[in-house]
């Protein structure tokens, strides 16, 4: 059995050779987040800051979140290349725009009876780009949709809302339901003899439900604080920017040379595991200074991810690379 993400992050950080968490950076970023919380710029309401997300009163919201987070992985491209783009959006937001476009075009994309047998040709049309670049890992996305669609029909009467209700207000129980039933969400690795879990997409699915419903009704979780950061390839860039992370010279040279790290490699697991633990340390620092109820790892993650999108150019100019991995897990 794998260690849960928080315990995995702590273990990986303790054993890490290539990534170091710097205490001064934790405090520096923590102070920034304290001001963000005080000014209400950082709150669950930020989930609705873009029109591409569903609202809590949309009856199809749970199944939209499930389909999007099933497909929410590996949108990166090299800095000098043109990327996949939909209705002017890039990356994750392009995916949201593509699913919304499919809904407007009356494609039954939220129905597992449809997507459990969808063809690659149909999926390619749904995810078609503004540019000549096709959506990366299309065949892997097809397999994920087929897998989760069939499980949803077999075990949850065709709606992810039933899985949420089974969790009975527990984020950790919902996380277990997701990773136990949907194999493509089971983001695990063996690190120095230890079986560890990162669960990026599974946790982001729980976090998106919580944020969409603003911790009310279907999205209320009594233990939401148990969810950790969503370890991807963008969060570490913000941690580097604020001096929370320090990479070994060897790792930094690999990243600057655009070497591909395999999912499960020691260096890749260290970047992701240390991301989780760093966010836990930042959250604890902020919680000591503020009302604990005002901060959790999901909100810290939202800030880090948004910061990287807003400051992509400056981060690139400063020479802070992201690690490049082809993976369905993030």
Distance linking the first and last C-alpha atoms of the chain: 21
Mean residue pLDDT of the chain comes to 94
- How does residue 77 score in pLDDT terms, banded at 50, 70 and 90? confident
Task: Give me the catalytic one of 63, 187, 208, 232.
Answer: 232
Which residue intervals of 105-199 are DSSP H helices?
A: 112-115, 120-126, 138-155, 160-166, 171-181
Instruction: Grade residue 121 by pLDDT with cuts at 50, 70 and 90.
Output: very high
pLDDT tier at 1 (50, 70, 90 boundaries)?
confident
Q: Which residues contact 108 (CB under 8 A, 6 or more apart)?
A: 114
How many CA atoms within 13 Å lie on the side-chain side of 135? Answer: 30
- Measured between alpha carbons, how far is 318 from 302 in angstroms, rounded to an integer? 22
Question: Given pLDDT bands bounded at 50, 70 and 90, which one contains residue 293?
Answer: confident
Question: Residue 140's pLDDT band (boundaries 50, 70, 90)?
Answer: very high
**Residue 47 above 60 pLDDT?**
no
Q: Is 179 exposed, middle or buried (0-12, 13-18, 19+ CB in 10 A)?
A: buried
Please report the pLDDT score of residue 97 as a whole number. Answer: 97
User: What mean pLDDT comes out for the span 107-135?
Assistant: 96
DSSP letter for 324, please.
B
| 306: helix, strand or coil | helix
pLDDT value for 94: 95
Q: What does the pLDDT average to over 122-128?
A: 98
175-230 pLDDT, tens digit each? 999 999 999 999 999 999 999 999 999 999 999 999 999 899 999 999 999 999 99
Q: Catalytic residue at 58?
A: no
Considering only CA atoms, which of 145, 136, 138 is closest in space to residue 185? 145
**In percent, how much of the chain has pLDDT > 70?**
98
Q: How far apart are CA 15 and CA 229, in angstroms?
A: 19
Of 318 and 43, the one with more pLDDT:
318
Task: Read off the DSSP letter of residue 79.
Answer: T
Confidence of residue 49 (pLDDT cuts 50, 70, 90): low
Q: What is the mean predicted confidence (pLDDT) over 261-277?
A: 97
User: What whole-number distance in Å separates Cα of residue 227 and Cα of residue 296?
Assistant: 8
Lowest mean pLDDT among 7-11, 44-48, 213-217, 243-247: 44-48
């Amino acid at each position: 059995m794998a260690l849960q993400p928080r315990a995995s992050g702590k273990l990986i950080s303790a054993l890490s050779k290539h990534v170091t968490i710097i205490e001064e950076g934790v405090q520096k970023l923590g102070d920034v987040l304290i001001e963000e919380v005080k000014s209400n710029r950082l709150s669950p309401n930020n989930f609705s800051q873009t029109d591409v997300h569903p609202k809590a009163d949309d009856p199809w919201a749970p199944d939209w979140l499930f389909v999007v987070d099933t497909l929410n992985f590996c949108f990166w491209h090299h800095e000098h290349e043109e990327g996949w783009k939909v209705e002017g959006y890039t990356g994750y937001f392009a995916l949201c725009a593509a699913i919304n476009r499919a809904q407007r075009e009356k494609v039954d994309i939220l129905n597992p009876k449809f997507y459990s047998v969808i063809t690659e040709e149909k999926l390619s049309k749904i995810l078609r780009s503004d540019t000549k670049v096709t959506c990366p890992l299309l065949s892997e996305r097809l397999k994920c949709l087929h897998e989760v669609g069939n499980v949803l029909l077999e075990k949850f009467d065709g709606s992810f809302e039933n899985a949420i209700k089974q969790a009975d207000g527990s984020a950790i129980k919902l996380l277990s339901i997701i990773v136990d039933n949907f194999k493509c969400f089971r983001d695990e690795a063996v690190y120095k003899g230890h079986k560890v879990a990162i669960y990026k997409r599974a946790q982001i699915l729980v976090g998106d439900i919580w944020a969409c419903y603003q911790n009310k009704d279907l999205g209320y979780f009594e233990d939401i604080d148990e969810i950790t950061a969503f370890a991807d390839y963008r969060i570490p860039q913000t941690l580097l920017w604020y001096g929370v992370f320090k990479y070994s010279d060897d790792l930094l040279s690999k990243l600057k040379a655009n070497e591909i790290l395999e999912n499960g490699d020691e260096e890749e697991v260290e970047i992701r595991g240390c991301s989780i633990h760093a966010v836990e340390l930042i959250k604890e620092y902020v919680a000591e200074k503020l009302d604990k109820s005002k901060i959790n790892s999901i909100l810290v993650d939202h800030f880090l991810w948004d910061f990287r999108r807003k400051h992509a150019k400056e981060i690139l100019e400063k020479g802070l690379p992201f690690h490049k991995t082809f993976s369905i897990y993030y």
